[in-house]
Amino acid sequence: MPSTSRRVLTIALAVGLSALGLAGCASSTGSTPSVSPDSSTAPADLGSAWLDEGRAVGIVTSGSSTCVPYAGEPTYDAKTATLTVELTDPDGAACTRDFVPRASLVSLPAGVDPTKDLSIVVTGTYAGETSLVGDPQLTGVPGGMTEYLPSAGWYSGTGFLILSWGSSSCVPQLESAEPTSAKLITATFATPPADQVCTADMAPRVTVAEVADATSGVNVDVLLTGGEFDSITVPIAGLS
């Protein structure tokens, strides 16, 4: 597990400010997607993944890669272990016409236990429900500190999310994700242009990845290499 100390920015913002890299997915999952019955603009289904050692979740919708939905302030009902959060499209944005999975990052309020199952109710434009299986290996305390380290989590049987921290204007671009052994996936990122100018903020960036022919979602690691990543290995959270 990645170590260093953590401070969760209360992120009610959607992450993936630029294109979210795509590649292939792996076997098992801790997320149960479900069809949204109400909204004609909602995606066919929703997905979710544990991120930042369980201090946050990524909620996956489908649509324009440049118009990732914004997440409102979440609420948590401890009696039912249910998180409720509103997702809405950005106002007045010029969106590309592609249709891809993208992820909105939601920091979890105090009281959520990432080692236990979590139900997620999404309201707003992308009304629907999804759920996460608790992962006993997650050690983060929602509402606590983050170390700004990369993390990853399964959102479906064929996809996972990668959370990284850095400039919001220089989002890492995923080139490929390939299984390199039974329990290791290598995610290779593009080398940024030498003249790239980045803002000096420290923001969360979420990349959507898919990889075929991986074995099990349990105890699988991802090796992040290329771009700003110096061969960093992190576990992919989530259980089948």
Express each pLDDT in 9-21 by its tens digit.
Answer: 333 333 443 333 3
**pLDDT band for position 33 (cuts 50, 70, 90):** very low
Would you give the end-to-end CA distance of the chain in angstroms? 19
Report the half-sphere exposure of 231 (CA within 13 A, side-chain side).
0
H or E stretch at 107: strand 100-107
CA 12 to chain centre: 13
What letter does residue 130 receive in the DSSP assignment?
E
What mean pLDDT is predicted for residues 131-138? 95
Rounded CA separation 18/93 (Å): 13
**pLDDT band for position 157 (cuts 50, 70, 90):** confident
pTM of the model: 0.81
φ/ψ of residue 228, rounded to 5: -90, 0
